[in-house]
Amino acid sequence: MPELPEVETTRRGIAPHVEGREIREVIVRESRLRLPVPDDLVDRLVGARFDRLARRAKYLLLPLQDGDDAHLERGTLIWHLGMSGSLRIVRLGDLPRKHDHVDLVLDDGGILRYHDPRRFGFVDWLQGSVANDPRLAKLGPEPLSEAFDGARLFEMSRGRRIAVKPFLMDNTVVVGVGNIYAAEALFLAGIDPRRAAGRISRERYDRLAAACREVLAAAITQGGTTLRDFVGGTGEPGYFAQRLNVYGRDGEPCRRCGAELRLVTLGQRASVFCAACQN
């Protein structure tokens, strides 16, 4: 599933090609996504011009202005890539493949194309303030922002018996630290993913917050993690998979100490860790 680095990689990849561009045509080949494509999407988008793209957690936010009046806001497209979705830039004449469900044809001949084999993603229309949308209103801080630190983790974990890994993956605590990056951050911080969240010290949470930032920043620099379906906005895979220390490596030797990595299930998710390096 695309996580925060993959979504941010997508935003950075498509932004130079769509910001300021006008939508000339909308082609919906398959409307049955996780949420049905809005019936009035074509009428809302044709003639609109993209403003500066943004991201909140794993949601891509594509604000639109009136094509004739740059100061008149139309609304915002909210796009979620689901488990297998990707947004990429293609050119006129590039024939659609199977599972290419939505095309936004731009005024320079480029096409913003949505591909989603499993159809668990969606595109929706937001009118008014994005902050009031119920999908976004209760989200925690961005992990690369100043609002996220060890103090927040420590305060929110007091009295919590839940294991620290699913605690870290709770989007009300911090957004975008999914399974891959939670496992990697806990390894860097030397914390056993099974340890109760409420039994971890402030000092160790400081290290964990720093590890989250380090892992996510590195993954964004590497273009995300391609394990199966993900490609970035220009069609390139992510290369962070080559740097994974623990995720997906159960039974292999720890890159740090050589001990065999162990696999456990936490919060119904597989979690690999090193029992020698993480405690």
| Residues known to be catalytic | 2-3, 58, 269
Q: Is 34 annotated as a binding residue?
A: no
- Dist. CA 103–CA 111, nearest whole Å: 6
- In the structure encoding, which two tokens stand for residue 273, read together? 């860790």
Phi (first) and psi of residue 269, to 5 degrees: -125, 140
Nearest residue to 117 via CA among 237, 33, 41: 33
The maximal CA–CA distance of the chain, rounded, in angstroms, is: 63
Strand partners, 123: 79
Angle at 174 between CA 171 and CA 180, to 5 degrees: 80
Return the percent helix, strand and coil in the chain, to nearest 5.
Answer: 30, 25, 45
- Dist. CA 226–CA 238, nearest whole Å: 5
- Residue 132 one-letter amino acid: N
CB 120 within 8 A of CB 85: yes
Q: Is 118 annotated as a binding residue?
A: yes
Going by the annotation, the residues of the binding site are: 99, 118, 160
Binding-site residues for DNA, in ranges, read 99, 118, 160
